Structure 1
Amino acid sequence: MSHILTAPGAPFAVVRAENGSLVYAEGPRTLREFVEPTWTFGDQPFLVAEDRTYTYGEFFAAASALANRFLDTYGLRPGDRAVIAMRNHPEWQIAFWAAQLAGLIAVPLNAWWTEEEFTYALDDCAPRVLLVDGERLPRVSRWAEGRGGRERVRTLVFHHDGEVGAGMERYEELPPPDPAAAPPDVEVRPEDDATISYTSGTTGRPKGAVATHLAQAGAAMNPRFQAAASALGRGQIPGQGPAPITLMTFPFFHVAAFTSLYSAMAVGGTLVLMRKWDARRALELIHEHRVTHYAGVPATALQLLEEATAGNDPLESLTMLATGGAAAPPDLVARLTARYGERIEARNGYGLTETSGGVLANFGADYRRFPASVGRPTPVTELRIADPAGQTLPEGEVGELLLRGQSLVRGYWRDEAASAQAFSRDGWFRTGDLAVVRDDGRVSVVDRIKDMIVRGGENVYCVEVEDVLHAHPDVIDAAVLGVPHPVLGEEVAAVVRVRPGAGTDAGELRAHVGRRLAAFKVPAHVLVQEEPLPRNPTGKILKRELRDPVAEHIRAREE
């Protein structure tokens, strides 16, 4: 049915650009073009936090005032980098969009990083301005006063009552924005760089993925297409009905947040923010603000459903539960459907830092029928499955997922070697994920290439074993990894978090897997615990932190 949306002249029609990639024929070409129309939403609430609410009019006035300050007071010029290091304050969005209105390159940094991690990224991107909250200030101030002080880097501090150093200002002390003031008159071109987003660094040093304005404009159109396709699937006319009210639990620095952000901003929707994740507080906010859309990693979505089930909460205002940032266990949509039927639509998908957000999506009836799939690509996203030599594999065979399209980044910041390794000359990006495409175009991601276990010549996909473990009623979380074996090369190991007091042991879990999967896929070693598994701020399990506990568990069994 999506051809209705992509036919020539339709809202999501595509054309092929000179570089070979597909791009949307209509729609914005820069983030400045995308954000400028939002001022027309005026008094509609945009950002709702515990301490205050910004309407669209107030937000745009504040962003315009800060953009003018960047150029007129700080002496910045288009192309300079503006680092944003904050938790999910409403002012995060003001800082980001001020950078776009001024033609700067916004660099969102992970708010949970240590001083050492911040220093690495700051040295790498060499910003001219730091936009930081009081909590992050101690982790960046040494850099700002050292190298930053020598290179005239300005620092603007948000939500901070203490002292600030030389060259620093408090945002709350700036003059109030003029509601009638326009953003600065600067030229922003589609080919200009818009953002540098650092990879999560789960396998090594983070790399700065650089997205142009055209790429981010494509990323802004992608969720709008998915929302329209979802409406058609439900027999509705796209664009009808009230604007969404979204409970935003993704950290703003993560690309998954932008997928929900772009979708809301395009139609005047509202984002309800949380200071920190708490399932009970999330339920309170859903009722208080009549939240219609939930956006978060699968782990928080499952916790929300557990809390709602325990309290017999009908979640009567909720119509959409969207997850991203990490692989969703297949039983998530089953749990949602068992409790709420088809009233609340589940949405899952696939995206990376390098794709500027979600580029595949699975929703509605398809998601309920095929919960292990990440869905189909957006109109401007091409994909193919390749063998190690880069040759395209036929449908149904597992290989590396390669992507090409408008929203992909152009490469890594000042790292030609990494860019050349990840991108082919004709624009195909090597995701590092193993996937398979079915004959109806559905894609299933089976594992990371580096996470695949080769046991005695047999391939074991960690995700497949993790999905089976998640299906056990006592299992809250699970991670599967390979451990060395002198004869087989590798063996399968699992770390499983069970419900408190469940009493489930390793033998029961191994038997559970053995009833569903071949014997060579059954974990030889199972470490059972009630403590949470280590995850990064975007919800991905940090398997490198599990290797030592698993090794100790194996040694203890052998002694």
Structure 2
Amino acid sequence: MQQRGTLPTRGHDEVRAALTAPGAPFETVELGNAGTRVRAWRNAPPTLRAMIENARVYADRDFLVHTPGPTGAPERLSYAEVYRRVAGLARELVDTHRVRKGDRVAIAMRNLPEWPVAFFAAAAAGAVVVPLNAWWEASELEFGLRDSGARVLIADRERLDRLHGVLPRLGIGALVARPGGPLPTGVRDLGGIAPADELPEVPLVPDDPATIFYTSGTTGTPKGAFGTHRNICGNVTSLAYSAARALLRGGGTLDDLAAPAPPGVALVTVPLFHGTGCHSVLLGAVHTGATLVLMHKWDPGAALELIERERVTTLTGVPAMLQQLLAHPDLDRRDTSSLTSVGSGGAPAAPALVSRTSRRLPGAVPANGYGLTETSSMTTANRGVDYLERPDSVGQPVAICDLRVVDPGTGADLPAGRVGELWIRGANVVTGYWNRPDATAEAITDGWLHSGDLARVDDDGFVYVVDRAKDMLIRGGENVYCAELEAAVHEHPEVADCAVLGIPDEALGEQVGVVVQLTPGGSLDEAGLREFLTGRIARFKIPVRLWAQEAELPRNAAGKVLKHRLRAEYVQTGVPDGRP
């Protein structure tokens, strides 16, 4: 075993070597063929089924606290109670719905206690879990169900009502959490399923398929990132590795690392259907026996109350949430001393946010990271002293990830400091896109994922993401794909042409704006566009600003809209109204 004690030095290479040495907690192994070998964590949980079974050792601890509960008081479920519900639902899926290994089970609900139950039950039954974006409209949800070929849908009442005209023609089984009233024929109340003591017998191995998380490319067409148990389960070890690296870099010792940590309490501020919410927050809690505190919706004042009442230790959200928390007038009146870690991700974080967090929450280690749906969440992490020293970086890669920065045109490797497209390889990279071999071949070359992000890497291996090569905006952690939105706006009869632009926003990172060329005599305004788009696309994608003009949009010789000109004319100059 690795000898414990203080490190002679705490440089980056020394820390990594100590943590990944043979016999160390974060030892890595090589997998794959000669041409596509990748590193994986030797000690990562093998499957999602193993994770929930291993969590039985935390039986008496609170697994989750849901606020508000059905009576208005907090609803608390222990690890033992959640496991029995998982086992009961897994048996229901296998025995009643005839779910077999590799079948798809979709989840469409907001953050309710039933979400993690459904997730682990479907995975333990051998199904491929398909978490759908609960913000999607009916047509978007229908696409996810059809594209994945889901056999069963587990939803909340709002999603059920949204799909009331869709489910009969899809012909899939449906289970509903907290229905609150009569259910359509053939739809069953999830609460009526009896708990069980043991999971059904389903053999699983790390390379079995586990999840389909939908993402989109520049075409706006959703693609299902098809991941294995090894892909998703490795993220909890990547999380632990990043924390251990920060501990040693900050002056801690290997003895400190070996000391048992008290159970944590994580405030869940992000959707569980996202990579951050599922891979990092949910699975990170289950792996360590932490308690999840579910919020009905994000509210910084309510978050501060919960931090004080539940003695929350970790909080992870998009930068906008952290900004709102630090700016809230109740911050100094609430006891936040329990916080030991505050992380941000999902959107660019302003460097000033790091120092402000350290000043206002001095007991909490600041952290951020970078990852994609296709990399099963974490690829790089920046935490503690490294984050304070390099607040504009997303950190170094975790030890199972290799990175390249390549020329976007030629694919040739670029030296340190040069900006190019970031490519990623490791056991965290998904196998490809569900039923999309063309998209898979375009995105993955010999195991290297083309991130679509432009970045540079310094001599110490710290990554700086400088731009998005893909035509995409990030609004409060939610991806808004310009081509998809432009296609929806184009459907309006008064729109001759359009281009979606990002508007810088301190709270959300970006807001959505659109420049529209009107048809002759057209009089479309912002209110009219919002009304037209409502129900067609998710609400977070609907533009908050419309600039209308009669002139044609500027294009290059290839016919592509010159968005940099439009940004200079409308966004950068702060033009309040672009109507002619």
TM class by smaller structure: 0.7 to 0.9
Whether 1:437 and 2:457 are equivalent positions in the alignment is yes
> Number of paired residues?
479
Change (3 A) 1:421 1:547: farther
Q: Structure 1 residue 96 and structure 2 residue 110: aligned? A: no
Distance 1:392 1:540, change over 3 A: farther
**Alignment RMSD (CA, Å):** 2.9
| Structure 2 CA distance for partners of 1:217 and 1:450, relative to 1, 3 Å | closer
- Choose from 36, 44, 48 the match for 1:27: 44
SS at match of 2:166: helix
- Return 5+ residue gaps in structure 1 as ranges: 453-461, 467-478, 482-492, 500-538
Measure how far apart 1:367 and its partner are: 0.5
User: Which of 503, 515, 530 lines up with 1:495 in the alignment?
Assistant: 503
Aligned counterpart in structure 2 of residue 44 of structure 1, from 61, 66, 69:
61
What does 1:133-152 align with in structure 2 at a 5 Å threshold?
133-148=156-171
The sequence identity of aligned pairs, in percent, is: 41
Contact 2:365-2:383 within 8 A present in 1 as well: yes
TM-score, scaled relative to structure 2: 0.77
The answer (yes or no) to whether the contact 1:387–1:400 under 8 Å persists in 2 is yes
Deviations 1:167-226 (A, max 9, x none): 210012223x13xx2111111122211000001568612110000111112223211211
Residue type of the alignment partner of 1:47: L
Q: Deviations over 1:479-508 (max 9, x none)?
A: 9x9xxxxxxxxxxx9735579xxxxxxxxx
- Secondary structure of 2:206's partner? coil
Answer yes or no: is 1:349 the counterpart of 2:372.
Answer: no
1:377-400 Cα shifts (integer Å, max 9, x gaps): 111111110002111101110000
Instruction: Quote the Cα distance in structure 1 between the aligned partners of 2:366 and 2:58.
Output: 28
- 2:110 matched residue in structure 1: 87
Contact 2:157 2:177 (C-alpha < 8 Å) held by counterparts: yes
Deviation for aligned residue 1:451: 5.6
The question of 1:269 aligning with 2:283 is answered no
Q: Does the 8 A contact of 2:88 with 2:193 survive in 1?
A: no
Give the Å deviation of 1:53: 1.3
Q: Which residue of 2 aligns with 1:170?
A: 189
Q: Distance in 2 between matches of 1:203 and 1:276?
A: 31
**Contact 2:301–2:330 under 8 Å retained in 1:** no
Say if 1:223 and 1:260, in contact at 8 Å, map to a contact too. Answer: no
**1:303 partner SS:** helix
Deviation of 1:543 (Å): 10
Q: What residue in structure 1 maps to residue 324 of structure 2?
A: 303
**Further displaced range: 244-253 or 233-242:** 233-242
Whether contact under 8 Å (1:6, 1:13) holds in the other structure is yes
* Aligned equivalent of 1:244, options 264, 269, 278: 264
Give the aligned partner of residue 21 of structure 2.
7
- Give, as a single letter, the amino acid of the residue that structure 2 aligns with 1:48: V
Structure 2 equivalent of residue 337 of structure 1: 358
Matched, 1:403 2:424: yes
What is the Cα deviation at residue 29 of structure 1?
2.1
Shift of 1:143: 2.3
User: CA shift at 1:340, angstroms?
Assistant: 3.5
What is the aligned partner in structure 2 of residue 427 from structure 1? Answer: 447
Deviates more, 1:23-32 or 1:280-289: 23-32
Select which of 369, 383, 393 maps to 2:389: 369
Q: Is 1:217–2:215 an aligned residue pair?
A: no
Alpha-carbon distance in 2 for matches of 1:262, 1:390: 35
| Partner SS for 1:208 | strand
- Offset at residue 446 of structure 1 (A): 0.4
Distance 2:311 2:464 in 1: 34
CA distance in 1, matches of 2:247, 2:385: 12
Q: What is the aligned partner in structure 1 of residue 314 from structure 2?
A: 293
CA shift in 2, pair 1:61/1:495, >3 Å: same
For residue 193 of structure 1, the aligned residue among 197, 209, 212 is: 209
Aligned to 2:404: 384
Which residue of structure 2 lines up, in the alignment, with residue 63 of structure 1?
86
Give, in whole Å, the separation in 1 of the partners of 2:92 and 2:372: 33
- Deviation of residue 330 (structure 1)? 1.3
Matched letter for residue 49 of structure 1: H
1:77 pairs with 2:114: no
If the length of structure 1 is used for normalisation, what is the TM-score? Answer: 0.80
Query: Structure 2: how far apart are the matches of 1:68 and 1:203?
Result: 40
Output one character per residue of 1:116-136: Cα deviation in whole Å (capped at 9) or x when no partner.
110111110111100001111
Corresponding position of 2:338: 317
Report how far residue 242 of structure 1 moved. 1.0
